[in-house]
Amino acid sequence: MMSTLKLAERMNRLGTEGAFEVLAMAKEMERSGIDVVHLEIGEPDFDTPRNIVDAAVNALNRGETHYSPAQGILELREAIADYLNSRYGSSVKPSEVVVFPGGKTAIMASLMAIVDEGDEVIYPNPGYPAYESIINFLGARAVPLPLKEERGFSFKPEDLEALITPKTKAVIINTPQNPTGGIIRKEDMEKLIELAEKHGFYIISDEIYDRILYDPEKFTSVMEFPEMRDKIILLNGFSKTYAMTGWRLGYTVTNEELAKALTKLAINIHSCVATFVQWAGVEALRGPQDAVDAMVAEFRRRRDYLLERISRIPGIRCHKPEGAFYLFINIQDLGISSDEFAKLMLKEYGVALLSGTAFGKYGEGFIRISYATSMENLKKAMDRLERAIQERRWEK
Ligand SMILES: Cc1ncc(COP(=O)(O)O)c(C=O)c1O
């Protein structure tokens, strides 16, 4: 039943996520008996490692079923600080860490804490859809920073510089990147740091795929720039690295003043993250890491298989991703828009994938596939993609 009462005006400024919409359509097709291969959703197809599940069960049995401090239990914040400090030689203190129910809420809270109406926030495009949506929701101006295929989907420093104004409050980056699998080049990161120092804005760096790397030596984190720590918000989480999407666990690392503000938001929104889930997070970081290594090895095998298949299909090409579990395939030579191609693949060939434009206007000419699915499914999907491109029904 429709209500005659109006929703808040700001709801008109909130976007959705293409992946969830395509998933709903694909599920409907499946209900009518059509076989669909799912390449649309970005979540690991592995189970959460057993030691992490056991840690949560043990915590429940110990009675860790009450509120925790809003900022997160000290043991988890210490584990996060230790992880970052041992990886980057940084000096993060537990007081600078705030635990959130997922990376997504960490993005929302970070922007809520620093952005006023009328401020400008520069964000990657194509990029994770929540950035643009939340910036708009908060009444700020979302300024897209184009990512360049020819730079491995890093940005051009001169493009970034040209977008900075006195109203620029923050620049969001994401490395390794969704939807492209690219990483930000070291020299581009250095330029960004220099610009943040010169113009005075926050850098929000979403590094949720920081462990899913195929060329680790090429990866640069904002944590490698200690002199900038007062202007940095690091976003990270457990969903991707530890196959924990349904647990809802993420965090921010920033200066103490902002960490206090983020904690205040936590108090007002969710009070705290489920306490036993936080204990599972401690085990994830402190326990054995071989399950992560095995997942990354399997993702690499799938990536290489897909790239090899794509290289033999005329008319499409793909940048070799350095991280995450997505391929951003260039279909510009096919003579069909990304949206139409994605629809055709779903309706006529039973392959659910995403149009590049689900990630912003600079995604036109690309499609995203997630290879967080079995080799068998990937093979089937590639056979269907190959057939679609041979048949070229859109030209008939
Ligand atoms: C770039 C990026 N950031 C953040 C998230 C949010 O992850 P979660 O809320 O599950 O921690 C995702 C999930 O797809 C993502 O791709």
How many separate domains does the chain show? 2
Ligand 1 atom with the smallest distance to the CA of 250 is 11
Looking at the domain assignment, is residue 346 inside a domain?
Answer: yes
**Helix ranges (DSSP H) in the chain:** 18-31, 50-62, 74-88, 103-114, 129-137, 157-163, 186-199, 256-269, 275-286, 290-311, 338-349, 375-391
Contact 250, 274 (CB under 8 A): no
Query: Quick one: 118 and 241 in the same domain?
Result: yes
Return the pLDDT at 392: 87
Structural domain ending residue among the three candidates 286, 312, 330: 286
pLDDT range class, residue 2, cuts 50, 70, 90: confident
Query: Which residues form the pocket of ligand 1, taking CB atoms under 6 Å from any ligand atom?
Result: 42, 102-104, 128, 174, 178, 206, 208, 237, 239, 245, 250
Kindly give the distance from the C-alpha atom of residue 192 to the centroid of ligand 1, in angstroms, as a whole number.
22
Looking at the domain assignment, is residue 231 inside a domain?
Answer: yes
In the predicted structure, residue 215 carries a pLDDT above the cut 80: yes
Looking at the domain assignment, is residue 196 inside a domain?
Answer: yes
Task: Give residue-wise pLDDT tens across range 250-271.
Answer: 999 999 999 999 999 999 999 9
Return the pLDDT at 205: 98
Ligand 1 atom with the smallest distance to the CA of 237 is 11
Contacts of 193 (CB under 8 A, 6+ apart): 203, 222, 225, 228
Query: Quick one: 27 and 110 in the same domain?
Result: no
- Looking at per-residue confidence, does 229 or 6 come out higher? 6
- The lowest-confidence range among 61-65, 225-229, 277-281 is 225-229
- Choosing from 104, 236, 368 the residue with most ligand 1 atoms within 8 A of its CB, the one to mutate for a pocket test is 104
Kindly give the distance from the C-alpha atom of residue 266 to the centroid of ligand 1, in angstroms, as a whole number.
18
Handedness of CA 68, 69, 72, 78 (dihedral sign): negative
- Choosing from 125, 178, 251, 252 the residue with most ligand 1 atoms within 8 A of its CB, the one to mutate for a pocket test is 178
Query: Quick one: 167 and 258 in the same domain?
Result: yes
pLDDT range class, residue 396, cuts 50, 70, 90: confident
Return the pLDDT at 91: 93
Percent of the chain with pLDDT over 90: 91
Contacts of 268 (CB under 8 A, 6+ apart): none
Structural domain ending residue among the three candidates 286, 301, 336: 286
In the predicted structure, residue 349 carries a pLDDT above the cut 90: yes
Return the pLDDT at 20: 80
- The lowest-confidence range among 35-44, 93-102, 161-170, 295-304 is 35-44
Query: Quick one: 274 and 331 in the same domain?
Result: no
Query: Quick one: 121 and 178 in the same domain?
Result: yes
Looking at the domain assignment, is residue 305 inside a domain?
Answer: yes
Task: Give residue-wise pLDDT tens across range 172-182.
Answer: 999 999 999 99
Query: Quick one: 264 and 302 in the same domain?
Result: no
* Cα separation, 241 vs 210, whole angstroms: 8
Task: Give residue-wise pLDDT tens across range 293-343.
Answer: 999 999 999 999 999 999 999 999 999 999 999 999 999 999 999 999 999
Kindly give the distance from the C-alpha atom of residue 240 to the centroid of ligand 1, in angstroms, as a whole number.
8
Structural domain ending residue among the three candidates 257, 286, 315: 286
Kindly give the distance from the C-alpha atom of residue 295 to the centroid of ligand 1, in angstroms, as a whole number.
18
Ligand 1 atom with the smallest distance to the CA of 104 is 9
Return the pLDDT at 23: 85
Ligand 1 atom with the smallest distance to the CA of 105 is 9
Looking at the domain assignment, is residue 186 inside a domain?
Answer: yes
Query: Quick one: 361 and 271 in the same domain?
Result: no
Looking at the domain assignment, is residue 294 inside a domain?
Answer: yes
Query: Quick one: 173 and 243 in the same domain?
Result: yes
Going by alpha carbons, the residue nearest to atom 16 of ligand 1 is 178
- Looking at per-residue confidence, does 21 or 219 come out higher? 219
Return the pLDDT at 296: 97
Going by alpha carbons, the residue nearest to atom 4 of ligand 1 is 103
108: domain CATH number is 3.40.640.10
Query: Quick one: 273 and 230 in the same domain?
Result: yes
Ligand 1 atom with the smallest distance to the CA of 106 is 9
Residue 345 Cα to chain centre, angstroms: 24
Contact 239, 103 (CB under 8 A): yes
Kindly give the distance from the C-alpha atom of residue 279 to the centroid of ligand 1, in angstroms, as a whole number.
21
> Mean pLDDT across the stretch 65-92?
97
Query: Quick one: 382 and 276 in the same domain?
Result: no
Query: Quick one: 197 and 278 in the same domain?
Result: yes
Kindly give the distance from the C-alpha atom of residue 124 to the centroid of ligand 1, in angstroms, as a whole number.
14
Query: Quick one: 279 and 303 in the same domain?
Result: no
Kindly give the distance from the C-alpha atom of residue 372 to the centroid of ligand 1, in angstroms, as a whole number.
14
Looking at the domain assignment, is residue 53 inside a domain?
Answer: no
Return the pLDDT at 321: 97
Looking at the domain assignment, is residue 58 inside a domain?
Answer: no
Return the pLDDT at 178: 97
Task: Give residue-wise pLDDT tens across range 350-371.
Answer: 999 999 999 999 999 999 999 9
Return the pLDDT at 226: 84
Tell me the Ramachandran region of residue 200: left when phi exceeds 0, alpha when psi lies from -120 to 50, beta otherwise.
left
Longest dimension (CA), the chain: 65
pLDDT range class, residue 18, cuts 50, 70, 90: confident
pTM of the model: 0.96
319: domain CATH number is 3.90.1150.10
Contact 107, 310 (CB under 8 A): no
> Mean pLDDT across the stretch 105-109?
97
Ligand 1 atom with the smallest distance to the CA of 42 is 14
| Structural domain boundaries enclosing 324 | 11-47+290-387
